[in-house]
Amino acid sequence: MVRSIISVFFLFTLAFAQNSDMLKQAIDLFENQNYRQAEKLFLKLHNEDSNNTEALYYLSMLELIRNDYDEAIDYLKEAIDINENDYRYQERLGDAYGMKAQNAGIFKAMFSIPKMRSAWKKAVELKPDIISAREKLFSYYLIAPGIAGGDEEKALQLANEVKKLDSIRGGILMARYYQEKEEIDKAENEYLNAAKQDSKNAQLMNTIGYFYLGVEKINKARPWFDSYIELQPDEANPYDSKGDFYLKKEVYDSALIMFETALEKNPDFQSSRFNRAQSLFNLNRKEEAKKECEYIIKKYPDSRYGKRAEKLLDKMD
């Protein structure tokens, strides 16, 4: 009897260890963007143990990547039914409802928005020091019209809450708040104060650069994009951002150099692919622009850049 109990325990322990190894392998595949192979393993884990909430969580992420919001929501609801106290499932559920609302008509969106807001609030309740869910709620309250639940006072309250948790991220929210209210000097001060606290924050450099582009202080943007490149010289996005700076100034030859440099770093960087085509078009190199558009449409047919490439191609016909 004792021997049989030990045998059952051993088999259970072995199965648990195997599932743990498979979960780790599946997560590694997911993080390396090998989504097809990752999905096979997550489905296998789910079929072997329907209570495996991590498998459900990652299956929902895969559905969000393919823009199947309803399927993602179903997976997340299933995970929450099993474990309602994991803030990640609630936050991701809010994301799924938000993406569904963003891609639905205005009337259908009205059904998803309260559920989105509720899920993000629940994530904050479950993890009081969470920042990301607060940032999402901030954006919602700041941008949504009043009839859809927008509330500038709640946005400001959330910005202050985030500032207590992280002075830099909170400062960025305060800057966005002032920018939305067209108090540009206050917004600028918030960004500059954040930059003083962390001059090595690459994403902050990029954010400030685009802030200056957005408020038409174009020349002020350049040093921030230069800093972004210095901090991340091997990444594509810094060069893409500086290319946007040159596009804004209508210096298309310099923009082209930046986008081509970005593509040297990452040949699949879609925004640089499209912006390269746009720069070529503006330089009257229309045959090259046409080939680039055709490449984008073929390789990324369902992406927003594929759609934009179709529109640019129409201008050349």
Contact 135, 176 (CB under 8 A): no
Looking at this protein, which amino acid is placed at residue 230? E
**Total-model pTM:** 0.79
- CATH number belonging to domain 25-126: 1.25.40.10
Domains 131-198 and 233-317 share a fold: yes
Q: Indicate the CATH number of 131-198 among 1.25.40, 3.30.390, 1.10.3210, 2.40.50.
A: 1.25.40
Q: Identify the CA nearest to 229 among candidates 216, 245, 211.
A: 245
Angle between helices 132-143 and 152-165 (to 10 degrees): 160
Tokens coding 250: 């209508």
Predicted confidence at residue 136, as pLDDT, reads 94
* Cα end-to-end span (Å), the chain: 82
The structural domains of the chain, with segments of one domain joined by +, span 25-126, 131-198, 233-317
Q: Give the pLDDT score at 312.
A: 92
Q: Which of 188, 237, 190 is nearest to 214 (CA)?
A: 188
CATH 2.40.30.10 fits 233-317, yes or no: no
Dump pLDDT digits (tens) for 138-155: 999 998 888 778 899 999
**Cβ neighbours of residue 38 under 8 Å, at least 6 residues apart?**
26, 27, 29, 30, 58, 62
Q: What is the mean pLDDT of each run of 10 residues along the chain (317 residues)?
A: 48 47 86 86 89 92 90 95 94 93 77 92 95 95 85 95 95 95 96 94 96 96 98 97 97 97 94 95 94 91 84 86
Q: What is the pLDDT of residues 14-33, one digit of tens each?
A: 344 446 788 888 888 888 87
Q: Which residue has the tokens 């923009």?
A: 255
Q: What was the pLDDT predicted at 19?
A: 60
